[in-house]
Amino acid sequence: MATKLPTVDALLVGFGWTGAILGQELTDAGLNVLALERGGWRDTATDFATSFIQDELRFYYRHELFQEPARETLSFRNSTIEVALPMRQLGSFLPASGVGGAGIHWNGQNWRFLPSDFLTRSHNTERYGAAAIPDTMTVQDWGVTYDDLEPYYDRWEHLCGISGKAGNIKGQIQPGGNPFEGPRSRDFPNPPMEMTYGPTLFAQAARDIGLKPFPAPSANMSRAYTNPLGVQLGPCTYCGFCEKFGCGNYSKASPQTTILPVLLRKKNFTLKTECEVIKINLDSDKKRAVSVTYIDTQGEEYEQPAELIILSAFVLHNVHLLLLSGIGTPYDPNTGRGTLGKNYAYQIVSSVDVFYDDKILNPFIGAGALGMVVDEFNGDNFDHTNLGFIGGGYIACWNTNGRPIETHLVPDGTPKWGATWKKAVVENYLKSMSLATHGSVMSHRGNYLDLDPTYRDFLGRPLMRMTFDFTENEHKMSDFLTGKTTEIARALKAREIRSNPRKGHYDITPYQTTHNTGGAIMGSNPQESVLNRYLQHWDVSNLFVMGSSAFPQNAGYNPTGTVAALALWSANAIKTQYLKTPGPLVQP
């Protein structure tokens, strides 16, 4: 029998970026807030100190900061005609466990989506005609616009001390920035990072062929910074251990380095770690969430009532918990009915490696979001007429790391082992770099999340089942991006290049990105979405669901900036509207 605990005003399920944001906002509004985190406490000095964090084996290859499939994983198949099998090891994406979530081990590549990204269906239909979107493509408008989110993007960038160069301030194009970005109200709070050699060469080559490269917006600090909450971050030291690692230098924006030192000291905030929420409980007419049930590490079960429940876990866990709790109608790919689990999407990446004879690039001098980018081929920044696809992505020369287990580029045709491989590694390690494409994935009728009929997690709950593959739209788009990247690579006039296009089915094995999206999407009506434009559940008005699970499809940028802007936008709606008049903020 679960022990019933006293009611709190607001309950956060999961304590990464969105949990920290909502905790800060809702405690500011005077609520008593409790956060439940399934993993443990983590802090810089204890868990990622500079005396040991530069450990490629421990943190990446042995996954110390990541979710353990032994506890929770999902099953996967490319299509409904296959039997889904469990993802036994992490690979393609790396969800976290513990306080700070994936906000600890992200690279810090921080973007705003394009204004047209929020209008995927209406914008593309208007520009290219209804035929541009085939029946099998289930893309939707978000129900929220870039202009709605701009003030929240701005707040977020200042909270995190993003280093970058504005490309568009209030409609005025700024030289040296991204000319394609939506208008921003002001510049980034910090100047761009200092560029290493590789991205500098890339930018020159891109300029040579008429493109407009700009420094990537980075959550690695280009200088010491004190954020609006008074929390201080130190300057990045370019150590090259960012993504998959915590920052030992307080130089990467994370919940720990931006919000938690303030939030955790508040009287009206409590965090419980190692508490796994197993169910959200509704009242008898299923219109109101009354409590969650959670289990602690001793196996004790508790019922925690709350007036307001916020799901702020990773995208996959938010959707899994809704499915396990029976909240909403699961999506059926055969009929297209139901919304929960619908429009799961991802990203599609490819690369072109560049090998020099004469240039020492020192790949190890890097940072997670250190790089130069071109955005000519992202979203709808270019004319898609007759290309046979919608969407796009950026092309970047990131200089994230030279960690040698992971990063040892070798030319095309090199064997994978033996003396020839070794020679190629030795000759090319210092003199090679990779140009990356980072492409959108549209939502498609057959790509979705539901509960697995067979496999169970450590608590005996059904695993979530992912059914996903890249479609023709994504392959055409990615091939187009790879082609453009090859043009830039050729302009570098290096000894040789190696193109790594994305071919074939989606494969859950190699690391790609942790940019999973969809499954509990937002939209303008309950027939097509789980959440309204404020991330409020259509059916259960005291339940809000944060995270990229709300994205109706995925854009060609890293999602964290948009996840955070949506969380701040939602928090504002809760504070200014919901708390005054609890109930649905949008009438269906």
Which residues from 543-572 bind another protein, rule CB under 8 A?
none
CB burial string 122-133: b at 16+ within 10 A, e below: ebbbeebeeebb
Instruction: Mark 498-537 with x for binding to another protein (rule: CB under 8 A) and - for no binding.
Output: -------xxxxx----------------------------
Residue 265 as a binder of another protein (CB under 8 A): the answer is: yes
Question: Which CB, 175 or 418, lies closer to another protein?
Answer: 418
Instruction: Please select the residue that binds another protein; options are 131, 285, 416, 587, rule is CB under 8 A.
Output: 416
Alpha helices (runs of H) in 54-196, residue ranges in sequence order? 56, 102-105, 120-128, 146-160
76 interacts with another protein by CB under 8 A: yes
Considering the rule CB under 8 A, would residue 170 count as an interface residue with another protein? no
CA distance 378 to 557: 8
Q: Which 81-100 positions form the footprint of another protein (CB under 8 A)?
A: 82-83, 85-89, 91
CA 181, CA 206: separation in Å to the nearest integer? Answer: 18
Q: In the set 8, 26, 275, 311, which binds another protein (CB under 8 A)? A: 275
Applying CB under 8 A, the span of 18-26, 126-134, 291-299, 511-519 interacting with another protein comes to 291-299
- The H or E element spanning position 315 is helix 315-325
245 within 8 A of 53, measured Cβ to Cβ: yes
> Helix or strand or coil: residue 190?
strand
Which range in 67-75, 141-149, 152-160, 326-334 contacts another protein by CB under 8 A?
67-75
Residue 232 binding another protein, by CB under 8 A: no
Contact 200, 215 (CB under 8 A): no
Distance separating alpha carbons of residues 382 and 116, to the nearest angstrom: 12
Least distance in angstroms from the C-beta of 180 to another protein: 27
Q: Which residue stretch of 203-211, 345-353, 417-425, 482-490 sits at the interface with another protein (rule: CB under 8 A)? A: 417-425
Among 423, 472, 525, 527, binds another protein (CB under 8 A): 423
Among 158, 165, 207, 272, binds another protein (CB under 8 A): 272
Stretch that binds another protein, among 16-24, 156-164, 281-289, 290-298 (CB under 8 A): 290-298
Active site residue 515: yes
Q: Between residues 430 and 579, which has the closer beta carbon with respect to another protein?
A: 430
Q: How far apart are CA 281 and CA 326, in angstroms?
A: 9
Residue 418 lies near another protein (rule: CB under 8 A):
yes
Angle in degrees, CA 50, 56, 59, rounded to 5: 80
Task: Find residue 169's DSSP bridge partners.
Answer: 172, 184
- DSSP assignment of 286-307 equals SSSEEEEEEEETTS-EEEEEEE
Residue 454: in which H helix or E strand, if any?
Answer: strand 448-456
413 near another protein, rule: CB under 8 A: no
260 binds another protein (CB under 8 A): yes
Report the nearest approach of another protein to the CB of residue 472 (Å).
17
Q: Which residue has the tokens 């208008």?
A: 183
Residues 6+ apart with CB under 8 A from 445: 135, 136, 137, 138, 333, 336
CA 293 centroid distance within chain: 27
Greatest alpha-carbon span in the chain: 72
CB atoms within 10 A of CB 208: 12
Amino acid at 127: R
353 binds another protein (CB under 8 A): no
| Footprint of another protein on 6-65 (CB under 8 A) | 40-41, 43, 45-47, 49-58, 61-64
Q: Which of 3, 172, 284, 298 lies at the binding interface for another protein (CB under 8 A)?
A: 298
Give the number of other Cβ atoms within 10 Å of residue 337's Cβ: 12
Binder to another protein among 155, 158, 165, 266 (CB under 8 A)? Answer: 266
- The one catalytic residue among 105, 317, 384, 515: 515
Residue 493: Cβ within 10 Å count: 11
CA distance 374 to 380: 14
Is 3 a binding residue for another protein by CB under 8 A? The answer is: no
CB of 510 to another protein, least distance (A): 9
Options 203-211, 268-276, 329-337, 563-571: segment touching another protein (CB under 8 A): 268-276
User: Min. distance of Cβ 361 from another protein in angstroms?
Assistant: 8
Distance CA 422, CA 295 (A): 50
Among 296, 307, 487, 496, contact with another protein (rule: CB under 8 A): 296
CB of 55 to another protein, least distance (A): 6
Q: Which of 70, 383, 386, 413 binds another protein (CB under 8 A)?
A: 70
Residue 54 or residue 125: which is nearer to another protein going by CB?
Answer: 54
For residue 200, the tally of other CB atoms under 10 A from its CB is 16
Place of tokens 């709350």: 306
Contacts to another protein from residues 355-374, by CB under 8 A: 359-362, 364-365
* Nearer to another protein among residue 117 and residue 457 (C-beta): 457
Least gap, CB of 99 to another protein (angstroms): 9
CA distance 531 to 543: 9
Distances 38 to 274, 299, 317, 554 between C-alpha atoms, Å: 4, 13, 11, 27
In contact, 518 and 495? CB cutoff 8 Å:
no
Binds another protein (CB under 8 A): choice among 146, 214, 241, 534: 241
Q: Is 459 in the site for another protein (CB under 8 A)?
A: yes
Determine if 68 is a binding residue for another protein (CB under 8 A). yes
Per CB under 8 A, the list member of 5, 125, 165, 197 interacting with another protein is 197
Give catalytic residues, as residue numbers. 515
